[in-house]
Amino acid sequence: MTVTRSLTALLTLGAAVALAAQTPQAPAPQPPSTQQPEAITTTITGPPGLPPKIAVPDFIALSTDAETVAAAKAIGETLWDDLNFEREFYLIPRDTYRSIPQPASADQVALDRWKELGADGVVVGTIRKGPSGYVVEVRLMQVSGGRVAFGKQYSGSVNSVKDGGRVYAHTAADEIHQTQRGLRGVARTKLLFSSDRDGTRMKGPVGEREISNIYRSDYDGANQTRITYTASIDITPVWSPDGAQIAYTSWRSGYPDIIVQSMTTGTAPQKPAKGSPEVQNYLPAWSPDGTKIAFTSSRDGNQEIYYANRDGTGLRRVTNHPSIDVTPTWSPTGQQIAFVSDRTGRPQIYVVNIDGTGLNKITNEVACDRPTWSPAPFNEIAYTSQSGGGHDIRVYEFSTGQTRTITDGNGSNESPAFSPNGRHIAFSSDRSGREQVYIIDRDGKNLRQITKTGRNRYPNWSQ
């Protein structure tokens, strides 16, 4: 059959991708090593003007042990979610697949049955347990004609399915988005946020106070893991662009200061802003090339924006005004910084060149905060805007000078952070009671709640 032939050909071409075992300590946002680009001849398409319809059934377990069988189902579910997330495909709901029996192997797919269901493409995956770990094969097949549009084999350690084999699904989803749609997906990205869920309290002058520490999760909220352990407050975390370090504001010394902490090694945290009771620093922002950190400091008498190299050398002052200047974010080129200032009354968003020239006010609203500059190709700044009794996330578009509101006035919504492809925004909201982290698409659709336990705020999205 043609189906079998093209499958074999493609799988022979496809290089195996070794996936590191995903442990909580692993340098999470690093993608597995990239491989040779291969010629893609088949792209799954839908009817003109409509997204391709894709089905992602359970993977086929080629080993019979319970862990492999469970992973086969879980990988299918996760991959369905990952592919659905970017809205590039129409994902046929999984509960409609029941009438189609699972084949014993990837060569026996009943393509005509998937065609009846209206699918343009179907993902056929297998998972097999070997002596040293797992081998997962993923194929995206064109339903009419049976050509393989995408085919890859991945291998990973025996621990790689402990969380349901999410790393296989995430990697395949990112590669399918890249090869089929030319899109950088976010399935392997991670969120940082601060949370008081631990319940530990610190001594306060009047009563006890909740501590906050830094947590990490997958982009979809899975694998929530505590990162810092201090009886203090650690907030406003940010990923370094390479994902190897995080920076955040901590009060662990009794005053706010910037802490830079490795996510890959146990090296002692660094304090690049060199804080002291007299020199307090907060709200770090990593430059796009990862070499510099911008922050707010009152070291010269009142709040100004500064940046320094990540080791603390090369300190530069960006703003110089007796009003509050706070909350920096870098432009994608690293040549400008947006920040918040109350120099004309209530806080508004300003943009300035990093040498302090070319100041430009971009908002005229009741009050604004937490600008966050989008990555290319979008040229936008998301920010918190006071509206009614609370706040909404708004987005300013440089090309038009227009703003749009992303959240719907439900609860108070703050602290936006863009996904690395600019298509999604993480933020905090108290719409369901205590503040939680949510993600939403840049057009205000597809709201998802990421956290549920405790009070969770200040999300940040890895590259």
Partner 1 sequence: MHSRRVAGVIITVVLAVSVGACAKKKPPVARPIPPPPPPASETAPPRPPAPPEPVRETPIPPEPVTSDPLTATDIDQINKNSPFQPIFYGFDSAEIDPEAQKLLNANAEILRKYPSWVITIEGHSDERGTAEYNLALGERRAAAARTYLVSLGIPGDRLKTVSYGKEFPFDPGHDEAAWAKNRRAHFVVTSK
- Rounded to a whole number of angstroms, the minimum distance from the CB of residue 305 to partner 1 is 11
Q: Does 422 bind partner 1 (CB under 8 A)?
A: no
When binding is defined by CB under 8 A, the residue of 5, 115, 226, 346 that contacts partner 1 is 346
Residue 295 CB, nearest approach to partner 1 (Å): 11
Nearer to partner 1, 173 or 326 (CB): 326
CB of 326 to partner 1, least distance (A): 4
* Closest approach of partner 1 to the CB of residue 417, in Å: 12
**Nearest distance, CB of residue 223 and partner 1, angstroms:** 25
Q: Judged by CB under 8 A, does residue 458 bind partner 1?
A: yes
Q: Which of 367, 444, 446, 448 binds partner 1 (CB under 8 A)?
A: 367
Q: Is 344 in the site for partner 1 (CB under 8 A)?
A: no
Smallest separation (angstroms) from partner 1 to the CB of 282: 5
Residue closer to partner 1 (CB basis): 177 or 370:
370
CB of 425 to partner 1, least distance (A): 16
Instruction: Pick the piece of the chain touching partner 1 (CB under 8 A) from 16-24, 75-83, 252-260, 399-407.
Output: 252-260
Does position 303 bind partner 1 by CB under 8 A? yes
Whole-angstrom distance, CA of residue 55 vs CA of residue 155: 23
Contact status: 147 vs partner 1 (CB under 8 A)? no
Q: How far is the CB of 462 from partner 1 (least distance, A)?
A: 20
Please identify, using beta-carbon distances, which residue of 59 and 330 lies nearer to partner 1.
330
**Residue 387 is a binding residue for partner 1 (CB under 8 A):** no
SS3 for the chain is CHHHHHHHHHHHHCCEEEECCCCCCCCCCCCCCCCCCCCCCCCCCCCCCCCCEEECCCCEECCCCHHHHHHHHHHHHHHHHHHHHCCCCEECCHHHCCCCCCCCCHHHCCHHHHHHCCCCEEEEEEEEEECCEEEEEEEEEECCCCCEEEEEEEEECHHHHCCCCHHHHHHHHHHHHHHHHCCCCCCCCEEEEEECCCCCEECCCCCCEECEEEEEEECCCCCCEECCCCCCEEEEEEECCCCCEEEEEECCCCCCEEEEEECCCCCCCECCCCCCCCCCEEEEEECCCCCEEEEEECCCCCCEEEEEECCCCCCEECCCCCCCEEEEEECCCCCEEEEEECCCCCCEEEEEECCCCCCEECCCCCCEEEEEECCCCCCEEEEEEEECCEEEEEEEECCCCCEEECCCCCCCEEEEEECCCCCEEEEEECCCCCCEEEEEECCCCCCEECCCCCCEEEEEECC
Question: For partner 1, which residue of 191, 216, 414, 431 counts as binding (CB under 8 A)?
Answer: 414
**Please, which of residues 201-240 interact with partner 1 by CB under 8 A?**
203-206, 209-210, 212, 233, 235-236
Task: Tell whether residue 324 is a contact of partner 1 (CB under 8 A).
Answer: yes
Q: Could you say which DSSP state residue 69 is in?
A: H
Match 């749009």 to its residue by tokens.
Answer: 404
456 binds partner 1 (CB under 8 A): no
Assess 427 for contact with partner 1 (CB under 8 A): no
Site membership for partner 1, residue 329 (CB under 8 A): no
Asked if 445 touches partner 1 (CB under 8 A), the answer is no
The site for partner 1, by CB under 8 A, has a size of: 47
Tokens describing residue 231:
């009886």
Instruction: Please give the residue ranges that form the binding site for partner 1 (CB under 8 A).
Output: 203-206, 209-210, 212, 233, 235-236, 249, 251, 254-256, 277-278, 280, 282-283, 296, 298, 300-303, 322, 324, 326-327, 340, 342, 346-347, 367-370, 384, 386, 389, 391, 412, 414-415, 457-458
